[in-house]
Structure 1
Amino acid sequence: MNGAMAEAEGGGADWPVLPAHAGRTGEAFLTEEEAARRVLAGALEWIEAQLDWFAPRRWEEYLPRRPFRPGPLLELLGLVRSLDRSGIMPVTAPLPSRALDLAEETVREPEFARGLRRGDAFFPYHLNLTALLELLGRPHPALRAACQALLAADVGGHCRPYKPVLSRIELRYFADRGGFTAPDGLPGLRALHRESIAARGADVLQLTGDETYALTHVLFYATDFGHQHLPPHRGGTVARLRETVRVLLGVHLARGSLDLLAELLLCDTVLDAGREAGPDPRRGQVRAPGRWRRAGWNALAAAQRADGAVPGPVHRPEILAGLVGDKSAAYLFGTCYHTTLASALAAASRKPGSAPVTAAPLRPSGSTGPPLPRAHPEEIRRWVRTETVAARTASPAVRAELAACLDPLLALAVQARDLAVLTDVVRAAERLGHGGGPLVRSAATLLAAWGSGPVPMPGGGEE
């Protein structure tokens, strides 16, 4: 494909708007452990200060009513369980105790029981909240009996084979974790996992945001958030997933997508992804997963607000600046609570018996290698030109590491449908001697297919 066609096609590219906190993603000031501890310490401090906002009635004073009203509380109890299991914070501590009080107040409201008995799309979450309360020492026998009866009757048809596999995995995980007897029509987690995106060979170049969320949640449930091994399969599933997570970490570092970044860091932990930074035998490359982890944790630490909140994808500092009082507090909570919880969960899940939670001071501790550019077309093209020129005289190991950095850029260019950028990245991989890599070959095939069509004209016509 010639350069003129690439430039013409590149004009129709669709790059997402970058959030204010998106920056150069390879720069690191803290070690991986220091950054994770800092994120966890700040997040827990913020969550404890905002506990009242987790109550549905408080939320609804200023924020739109949620379809499943106790959704934030349910997420919070998941974190409480992780903190207890990891030895970081027992359920008797003030934060978990108050969270459990709020959850009990919510399930005692008549509306919760009515919602449970409807058996609608939110039945799994009603069941899960009831189960988590019991697991954390606050049982509600009447609600549990109702959950078991409704589950056995398959109210809402949630166990049917035509339901999405992620929905069935979720329900099966909640049922097993809560000690419920699942109906015969709901397969076990291993069988369901074999049908999932995690076992079917996800195309990392073309994964949408929703598909990436689906991948992360399958891994959470299939491994009980890292407390179980991934179900065994033929075809090198775990190795392939580690590679997929590695590339996705780079993609969402470049985009500044803190929600997905936190979830992918948790996936990295549950997969125990490549603790060594040795060569990838399939590609002759340095996979350097430790580099992405360190950069990811530093990105979360750098984006974290002084109060400990981690901004979510819909958070806009300029909107917050125009609000005062409870409206300001409500906006901050509504736009930050999920990403803050996800970041805390990822940090808490790193290993059992973590060191005491204290914030590490920000200090230089060395670079993790050439920083990736942000997910911006001109920044990527400039980076590719600069780094490939520098690599001409570099060692084979440095060239291999640089080639590994190109994989996230391939995915970014493919997803933006930017043929000009994709051409540059594919050519850079070829110059570095890595044109035979599977992602490079796939990207080159897509490039050829897109480049074979007519060139769109400015007025919407075709040449």
Structure 2
Amino acid sequence: MTIADPAPTALGDLQRLAAGTLGWLDRHLEHFDPFSPAARAAGHGRAKAALELALLCRCGAPDPGLARATALVRALWQHPDLPALLAEQPDCAAQYRLAFAALAPDRTTATIDVPSADGLSPYQRLELRFYADQAGAPHTLESYQELAARNQLATLPADPSAVSIPAAYAVTHSAFYLADFGRLPVRGLSGPALAHARQLVRTLLAHSVRRAWWDLTAELLLAAHCLGDPPLLTPGGADAVRCLARAQRPDGSIPGRSAATAADGPLPAGPYFARAYHTTLVTALTALRLGEDGGAR
């Protein structure tokens, strides 16, 4: 092992995280099918969960552990009742329709309306631009460079006491959109601005690990990867992977967004899925993206 190699322990933890989370998700696919009795009984956002599964399949593929999930997504995107389900929440309907088009297994030729950007923050405009581009929808939104310059990645101080949890999630999602979840080199940030963004993410990651905020920890690991700062080559990144590995249950799931909100004792399958699925899914996505190049980019 050279100084530029990820620690073998961290790589082993990453591989176990990927195998365990993918296995748990595969065994609970019925809860991702919004039209199944299991999903109706679980009490989670059924449309949101289906969109998140599609995102995992898009960004984590090709991986054999996602074969059945990918088949489910393809079937759901052909289901005649899915558009109506996406419209059930009026405040999210336009964004869900755009995400539905962006995450479609097969590019649609239908006309796609991009929601108005009036009154949106730079972060929200970046999110809108990312999904519009993925959907192939025409728009007049600013360039990635213009949006990145006004984004939290460039404007927040690298001080966790000055960053709220919602702002920290805006940081992670912004990194995802600027790099297409690690599928592209980061767009819109370079030089001192990119260095600042990397330091911000490192600082937030260390803080998140100390607080055992598992969901945010997984997202910050992926954000570091998206920014071209391989987390497994840093002590903080290796600590974050160990944090998630300790949180993972024998069944492969991560039992909640944080140690403070983790499922306390056994829960019925539906409520436990609602509690655990998001952090388990984002940990799977992070493990797949980081593991794609052995943890070093």
After TM superposition, list the pairs within 5 Å mapping 1:252-271 onto structure 2.
252-271=208-227
In 1, Cα distance between equivalents of 2:193 and 2:29: 40
In 2, Cα distance between equivalents of 1:113 and 1:249: 33
Contact 2:122 2:147 in 1 (8 A): yes
Match of 1:304 among 230, 248, 270: 248
Aligned to 1:283: none
After TM superposition, list the pairs within 5 Å mapping 1:102-113 onto structure 2.
102-105=76-79, 108-109=81-82, 111-112=84-85
Aligned to 1:368: none
Aligned to 2:187: 231
Aligned to 1:35: 13
Match of 2:159 among 204, 220, 224: 204
Deviation at 1:353, TM superposition (A): 6.3
Counting aligned pairs with the same residue, the percent is 27
Deviation at 1:217, TM superposition (A): 0.5
Deviation at 1:264, TM superposition (A): 0.7
Give the aligned residue type for 2:122: V
Aligned to 2:117: 159
In 2, Cα distance between equivalents of 1:114 and 1:63: 20
What 5-or-longer segments of structure 2 have no aligned partner? 1-6
Aligned to 1:191: 146
Contact 1:90 1:96 in 2 (8 A): no
Aligned to 1:173: 130
Deviation at 1:198, TM superposition (A): 0.8
Number of aligned residues: 285
Give the aligned residue type for 2:243: A
Match of 2:274 among 315, 320, 334: 334
Structure with higher Rg: it is 1
Aligned pair 1:124/2:95, yes or no?
yes
Q: Report Cα offsets for 1:191-239 as digits up to 9, x if no partner.
A: 2122111122434231111110001001100111123333355760111
Q: Which of the two has greater helix per residue? A: 2
Aligned to 1:99: 73
Contact 1:201 1:240 in 2 (8 A): no
What is the Cα-based RMSD across aligned positions, in Å?
2.8
By relative contact order (CA 8 Å, sep 6+), the higher-ranking structure is: 1
Aligned to 1:248: 204
In 2, Cα distance between equivalents of 1:331 and 1:172: 34
The 1:171/1:291 distance shift into structure 2, 3 A limit, reads same
Contact 2:54 2:73 in 1 (8 A): yes
What 5-or-longer segments of structure 1 have no aligned partner? 1-28, 276-287, 356-463
In 1, Cα distance between equivalents of 2:121 and 2:226: 23
Aligned to 1:385: none
Deviation at 1:337, TM superposition (A): 0.4
Deviation at 1:45, TM superposition (A): 0.4
Deviation at 1:313, TM superposition (A): 2.5
Deviation at 1:74, TM superposition (A): 0.8
The 1:55/1:176 distance shift into structure 2, 3 A limit, reads same
